[in-house]
Amino acid sequence: MPSLLSVRDLHVSFDTSDGVVQAVRGLSFDVRRGDTLAIVGESGSGKSVATQTITGLTRGARISGEALFDGIDLLSAEPATLRRIRGARIGMIFQDPLSSLHPYYRVGWQIVEMIQAHDQEISKRDARGRAAELLSLVGIPQASKRIDDYPHQFSGGMRQRVMIAMAMALNPELLIADEPTTALDVTVQAQVLHVMRNLQQQFGTAIILITHDLGVVAQTADHVVVMYAGSAMERARRREIFYRHHNPYTEGLLLSLPAQGEAGERLTPIKGTPPSLIDLPPGCPFAPRCPYVFDRCRVETPPLDDVFRDPFHQSACWLSADEATRERQRAALKATGTS
Amino acid sequence: MTTDDALLRLVGVHKHFPVQIGALLSRGHEFVHAVDGVDLQVRRGETLGLVGETGCGKSTLARSIARLYDVTSGSVWFDGRDITRLSRRAMRPLRREIQVIFQDPYGSLNPRRRVGSIIGDPFAIHGVASGARRKKQVQELMELVGLNPEHYNRFPAEFSGGQRQRIGVARALALRPKLVICDEPVSALDVSIQAQIINLLADLQDEFDLTYVFISHDLSVVRHVSDRIAVMYLGKIVETAPTPQLFEAPRHPYTRALLSALPVPDPEEWSLQAMCERDAEGRYTALLDLLQLCTDAAYKLSDDLVARYFTHSGEARHSVGG
């Protein structure tokens, strides 16, 4: 089955007064219909820039590569084509629901406007009925009343539900959710994730979930892309990322989690800090922080290649793609001490 | 009551904030009960975790402990002494012993001052050391928290988020406090950096016999660092228990809701599963209802005030769903 969205070798850079920031460097991934793809990474890894570029939201950036959505290249599409796709066939929700909603307009009005912008045929009354239906679909009680409320009259979790209702209004094939629950409390987050999951099952929507929270990834994703310094370090199905990861960066992320190990034990952080995206070192971007680094890593950038003989599993690392050999390598490198 | 091993003791602490309701002429005051009757003890050398969600009053409580706020009623005992009504002057020597590390490593450091002078401030304010001696002590502190002492003359903007948080830690430890209140100290940091700061705080606790009140909304972090955990909800402590006990056998329904909503970073343990199952009539299981109830109640607390505000100003009616 062909992918719904297929991103190939995406590069995004910005000119700044300090130099060229290479925010995304050769990113490729696929999203299949009805699947959830999680893109994980720390701040500055390029995960948001990548998806914003795909939806045409990074003005002034230098972009190359390809992003095929159902056969249409979003990166080279005419603005009019892009406008028809964005909103209607690709819905988006962002971290902060308050700044995504207009404070002066009633939420119902905002949803109606959005529906009418893409569907000139629909009457105001029908659009309003649809808006109420959407609000109750995302679990807003008394939706037909609350449709006339202003954004500030909703709590944070309810606002995010309004955003989801709006993003789902035209029944998009793809929903891009950029840290949708980061600003929410855990009890609210659980409810919002539940709403998203429900809608996905009901309508078969594919979701790109951008997050830094590995807990959320473990609970929701089908496939995972781990990003670092603008490129994908590892790509695999969810279980492989957690139990059979290949890349030392993925390992480092998982080991840093306080949920690992017993309470009171020392955590295992990744040493150092991420590199500057203006002046990247040659070779693997993770090499300066990697516990298994060897000479080749500092010179040549490893490609994202299949590992462990799994067609769904790729890792950008010079350690062997064969599991047994890799284990021996790792043991040897750890023993010699990290230079 | 004995002063025994409790470094900090809160007895029936309330903190209310006035909120203006209505138009100019019919102005009246309502009160938000941010902290609503808290009894709590923190033992010497332990880490007490304080968890709760937005608006539960945990930061207000922290500030009340540090006497950054005056409490409305109740009393705060520190090291066997009632400090609730101490004057600013009498409070001054005690300020050396109670320090705070704040969440935002960007907002809590003055961007126009050099790091050396930021960390040296406590020495200057309390007249402890000056000149070359102060500089030497500051550099020792920088080394202690893992900063390069040669960066003494740099500005905060030249440091990363994790390094800035180290600056905040160094400043808090300058005068060798007994009690350190950590208010969401790692919430703004990426996981790999977060782990560095958590380890640093643990090392410093061992070295200097510190007592921590560790405030966070992140249960997995609190679980890792705390000996005991207090769960706060709507201005009250609803449950206090040793860490393992709280996770194994939570007693209050809110604690249960909080624990079950935590997404576990392990695909085998599908923590959100329970709430996705429906019963025979197609209703979701009790857990989802419980979560909904908790958030509704928490929201209503502030929401009722908003609602009344609107009725007074004739602006709009308001209803909270459900």
The ipTM estimated for the assembled molecules is: 0.85
Report the DSSP beta bridge partners of residue B32: B17
Query: Residues B153, B134: one domain?
Result: yes
Query: Residues B263, B295: one domain?
Result: yes
Choose the weakest-confidence range: A15-29, A161-175, A202-216, B304-318.
B304-318
Phi, psi of A113 (to 5 degrees): -60, -40
User: How far is Cα A199 from Cα B6, in angstroms, rounded to an integer?
Assistant: 51
Query: Residues B163, B217: one domain?
Result: no
- Alpha helices (H) in chain A, listed in sequence order: 47-54, 79-85, 97-100, 107-118, 124-137, 143-146, 156-168, 186-203, 214-220, 238-243, 248-256, 323-335
Query: Residues B91, B224: one domain?
Result: yes
Share the mean pLDDT of chain A: 90
pLDDT at res. A87? 86
Chain A nearest C-alpha distance from B154 (Å): 18
* Structural domain span for residue B157: 107-174
Q: Which of A177, A173, A176, A180 is nearest to A205 (CA)?
A: A173
> Which of B159, B184, B224 to mutate: most A Cβ within 10 Å?
B224
pLDDT at res. B314? 36
Chain CA centroid to CA A163, Å: 17
- Number of domains, chain B: 2
pLDDT in tens, B40-61: 999 999 999 999 888 788 889 9
pLDDT at res. A290? 94
User: How far is Cα A202 from Cα A165, in angstroms, rounded to an integer?
Assistant: 14
pLDDT at res. B234? 84
Chain B residue nearest residue A242, CA to CA: B266
Chain B residue nearest residue A270, CA to CA: B192
Residue A6: pLDDT band with limits 50, 70, 90: very high
Chain A residue nearest residue B218, CA to CA: A186
With a CB-CB cutoff of 8 Å, which residues 121-180 of chain A face chain B? 140-142, 145-146, 149-150, 153, 155-158
Token pair belonging to B58? 């945990």
pLDDT in tens, A50-84: 999 999 988 889 999 999 999 999 999 999 999 89
The overall longest dimension of chain A from CA atoms, in Å, is: 72
pLDDT at res. B198? 93
Task: Report percent pLDDT > 90 for chain A.
Answer: 64
pLDDT in tens, B136-183: 999 999 999 999 999 999 999 888 888 999 999 999 999 999 999 999
Query: Residues B26, B169: one domain?
Result: no
Residues of B in contact with A183 (CB under 8 A): none
Query: In angstroms, how far is the first alpha carbon of chain B from the final one?
Result: 46
Answer for the pair A178, A48: CB distance below 8 angstroms, yes or no.
yes
pLDDT at res. B308? 43
Positions in chain B whose pLDDT score sits under 70: 1-4, 20-29, 270-322
* A222 vs B: CB within 8 A: no
Answer for the pair A36, A220: CB distance below 8 angstroms, yes or no.
yes
Residue B321 domain flag: no
State the pTM of this model: 0.86
Query: Residues B254, B301: one domain?
Result: yes
Residue B126 domain flag: yes
Whether the pLDDT of residue A244 is over 50: the answer is yes
pLDDT in tens, A98-154: 788 899 999 999 999 989 988 888 999 999 999 999 998 888 888 888 999 999 888
Return the number of CB contacts < 8 Å for A and B. 153
Which of B174, B194, B221 is a domain's end point?
Answer: B174
Please give the single-letter amino acid code of residue B290: L
Contact B219 A153 (CB under 8 A): no
Domains along chain A? 5-225 (3.40.50.300), 245-335 (no CATH)
User: How far is Cα A30 from Cα A284, in angstroms, rounded to an integer?
Assistant: 23
Query: Residues B200, B302: one domain?
Result: yes
